[in-house]
């Protein structure tokens, strides 16, 4: 069976989504209000951090997405008791943490890359950790070399086995001087989750400083860690002997906020995104305004809308924070098909994040992808045959088509494309969207989309 289809079904069923396909009658503006919960890219890491505590942790605003289900399953196979508290709250009790079998880890990990982040905490608690082959969205090679190097720096012994990787730390983990070749989000989290209980001081240079990472730092500080964040991508961690559990309300999901904002613009709609905040979205908001979108900042969220008039083309380069996030480009590209003129999106974080545009082209968009670094500065993918710059000429009117979700963010952009298109579109493999968008079907309904679900 096609593994993408399998993957979609697995993600969908994890959150009770029993359908694979949505048929959308496009052309209706999205209008109304939706509420965000905690960020996928923080919540899943915060759940792992609970392993480090001597007492239970309480995480609030946990979204019902399949990535959370996967991490929950992984925690449970490692002996962590996970219970649901009051509304959207998870209580994570790590007092009986134990080694899990590779087969169980593999079965629970599915296509997730999260198991790699279990390594530091498990090495501290148990002296060993296993990780299966890792998946994640198909948006490039997504190697784990930085992670393995980081763990070796702390003193871990890494052995490659036919079924995955085994790590051990017979002499414990020790603070280290670590320098990342690229400010990787995951590798920075790896350093944080490992250094907090390592013996001595760790100095990380070239760190990623995304708001989700800063919220993880907040959580670790609540647990008892000592972490200093400098202005030059240097993070210093003084290892401590023990950490307690935390109680924390997760940072809102700014990637989801940007996705609904793009949907409001592309459909000429008006969507109030409850829980969205300005500070973490400054860069997105600037671009939204330049394209011709309008927004109002409120205390309890942000209203995103199309104010009328023509949309304008832009040149964007995705980058690490505080740049324009890679996860924002796919939904926004759909709105750019409606802008008058030529837009350029230069993707500098993942080498293959334009797979989703084939479907847009089939629907009538004019998008060419190039291997050159278009739009400004050269990036690490230039001269390497990766189609990582997109040129979008508009305005074009999209028409309905049968399309298949390729990955999480690309999938959401397909939904937006179908919502803006003239006529009917069938979007299949929508289960993948459940990896990171909570209740997206209910939200579409709330916003007045015209669609039917198919099994």
| Catalytic (active site) residue 119 | no
| Measured distance CA(340)–CA(329) in Å, rounded | 18
Q: Does 190 bind ligand EPU (CB under 6 A)?
A: no
Q: C-beta of 270: minimal distance to ligand EPU in Å?
A: 26
Residue with tokens 């949309």: 311
Name which of residues 332 to 371 contact ligand EPU (CB under 6 A): 349-350
Q: In degrees rounded to 5, what are phi and psi of residue 270?
A: -155, 105
What is the nearest approach in angstroms of ligand EPU to the Cβ of residue 409? 5
Instruction: Considering only residues 151 through 180, tell me which ones interact with ligand EPU, judged by CB under 6 A.
Output: none
Tell me whether residue 93 or residue 407 sits nearer to ligand EPU (CB atom): 407
- 32: DSSP letter: E
Sheet with 294-298: strands ordered across: 31-35, 270-274, 301-305, 294-298
Among the listed ranges 181-189, 291-299, 331-339, 359-367, the one in contact with ligand EPU (CB under 6 A) is 181-189
Asked if residue 314 binds ligand EPU (CB under 6 A), the reply is: no
Smallest CA-to-CA distance from 239 within 275, 300, 194 is with 194
Q: Is residue 4 a contact partner of residue 355, using CB atoms and an 8 Å limit?
A: no
For residue 342, the minimal CB distance to ligand EPU (Å) is 26
Q: Which residue is nearest to ligand EPU (CB)?
A: 186
Query: Which of residues 83, 84, 107, 143 is near ligand EPU by CB under 6 A?
Result: 143
The minimum distance between CB 386 and ligand EPU, in angstroms, equals 10
Q: Which region among 12-20, 138-146, 157-165, 234-242 touches ligand EPU (by CB under 6 A)?
A: 138-146
DSSP states along 236-278? EEE--S-B---EEEPPB-HHHHHHHHHHHHHTT-EEEEET--S
- The reply on whether position 115 binds ligand EPU by CB under 6 A is no
Q: Indicate the residue among 146 and 354 with the shorter CB distance to ligand EPU.
A: 146
Per-residue buried b or exposed e for 264-300, using 16+ beta carbons within 10 Å of the residue's own CB: bbbbbbbbbbbbbbeebbebbbebbeebbbbbeeeee
The residue within the footprint of ligand EPU, chosen from 123, 185, 251, 332 (CB under 6 A), is 185
- Does residue 133 bind ligand EPU (CB under 6 A)? no
Nearest to ligand EPU of 275, 436 (CB atom): 436
What are the backbone angles phi and psi of residue 181, rounded to the nearest 5°?
-70, -20
Segment interacting with ligand EPU, rule: CB under 6 A, options 3-11, 19-27, 71-79, 143-151: 143-151
Helix/strand/coil for 199: strand
Site track for ligand EPU across 397-416, x = CB under 6 A: -----------xx-------
Q: How far is the CB of 206 from ligand EPU (least distance, A)?
A: 11
Q: CA-CA distance, 268 to 447, in Å (whole number)? A: 12
Residue 406 neighbours by CB under 8 Å, 6+ apart: 4, 138, 355, 356, 359
Closest to ligand EPU by CB, 148 or 367: 148
Size of the site for ligand EPU (CB under 6 A): 28
Considering the rule CB under 6 A, would residue 137 count as an interface residue with ligand EPU?
Answer: yes
Strand order in the sheet with 451-454: 402-404, 424-428, 21-25, 451-454
The answer to whether residue 75 forms part of the interface with ligand EPU (CB under 6 A) is no
Q: CB-wise, 186 or 313, nearer to ligand EPU?
A: 186
Residue 293 touches ligand EPU, criterion: CB under 6 A? no
Least separation in angstroms between CB 210 and ligand EPU:
6
Q: 41 or 413: whose CB is closer to ligand EPU?
A: 41
Nearest approach, Cβ of 355 to ligand EPU (angstroms)?
Answer: 13
The helix/strand/coil state of 217 is helix
Interacting residue with ligand EPU among 50, 53, 71, 146 (CB under 6 A): 146
Q: Give Cα 25 to chain centroid, integer Å.
A: 28
By the rule CB under 6 A, 184 interacts with ligand EPU: yes
**Nearest CA-CA partner of 260 in 307, 319, 328:** 328
The least CB distance from residue 408 to ligand EPU, in Å, is 4
The number of helices, as runs of H, and strands, as runs of E, in the chain is 14, 23
186 counts as binding ligand EPU under rule CB under 6 A: yes
Alpha-carbon distance 315 to 277, whole Å? 24
The rounded distance, in Å, linking the Cα atoms of 290 and 88 is: 36
Residues that bind ligand EPU (CB under 6 A): 40-41, 113, 137, 140-147, 182, 184-187, 208, 210, 255, 325-327, 349-350, 408-409, 436
Instruction: Tell me which residues are annotated as active site.
Output: 137
């Amino acid at each position: 069976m096609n593994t993408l289809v399998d993957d979609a079904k697995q993600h969908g069923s994890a959150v009770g989504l029993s359908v694979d396909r949505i048929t959308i009658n496009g052309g209706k503006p999205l209008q109304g209000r939706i509420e965000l919960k905690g960020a996928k890219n923080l919540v899943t890491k915060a759940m792992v951090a609970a392993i480090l505590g001597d007492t239970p942790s309480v995480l609030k605003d946990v979204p019902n997405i399949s990535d959370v289900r996967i991490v929950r399953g992984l925690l449970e196979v490692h002996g962590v008791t996970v219970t649901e508290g009051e509304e959207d709250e998870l209580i994570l009790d790590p007092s009986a943490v134990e080694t899990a079998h590779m087969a169980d880890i593999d079965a629970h990990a599915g296509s997730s890359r999260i198991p790699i982040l279990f390594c530091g905490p498990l090495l501290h608690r148990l002296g060993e950790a296993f990780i299966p082959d890792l998946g994640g969205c198909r948006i490039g090679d997504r190697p784990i070399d930085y992670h393995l190097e980081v763990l070796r720096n702390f003193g871990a012994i890494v052995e490659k086995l036919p079924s995955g990787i085994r790590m051990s730390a017979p002499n414990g983990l020790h603070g280290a001087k670590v320098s990342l070749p690229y400010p990787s989000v995951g590798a920075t989290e790896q350093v944080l989750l490992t250094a907090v209980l390592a013996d001595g001081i760790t100095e990380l240079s070239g760190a990623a400083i995304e708001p989700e990472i800063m919220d993880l730092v907040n959580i670790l500080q609540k647990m008892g860690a000592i972490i200093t964040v400098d202005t030059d991508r240097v993070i210093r961690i003084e290892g401590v002997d023990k950490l307690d559990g935390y109680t924390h309300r997760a940072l809102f999901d700014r990637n989801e906020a940007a996705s609904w904002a793009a949907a409001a613009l592309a459909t000429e709609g008006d969507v109030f995104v409850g829980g969205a905040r300005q500070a973490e979205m400054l860069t997105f908001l600037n671009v939204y305004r330049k394209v011709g979108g309008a927004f109002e900042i409120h205390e309890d969220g942000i209203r995103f809308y199309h104010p009328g008039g023509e949309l304008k083309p832009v040149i964007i380069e995705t980058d690490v924070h505080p740049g324009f996030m890679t996860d924002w480009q796919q939904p926004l590209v759909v709105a750019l098909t409606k802008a008058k003129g030529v837009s350029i999106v230069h993707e500098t974080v993942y080498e293959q994040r334009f797979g989703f545009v084939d479907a847009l082209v089939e629907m009538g968009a004019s998008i060419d992808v190039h291997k050159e670094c278009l739009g400004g500065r050269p990036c690490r993918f230039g001269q390497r045959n990766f189609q990582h710059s997109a040129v979008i000429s508009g305005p074009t009117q999209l028409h309905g088509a049968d399309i298949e979700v390729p990955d999480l963010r690309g999938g959401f952009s397909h939904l937006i494309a179908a919502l803006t298109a003239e006529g009917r579109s069938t979007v299949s493999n929508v289960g993948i969207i459940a990896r990171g968008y909570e209740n997206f079907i209910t939200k579409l309904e709330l916003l007045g989309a015209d669609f039917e679900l198919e099994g």
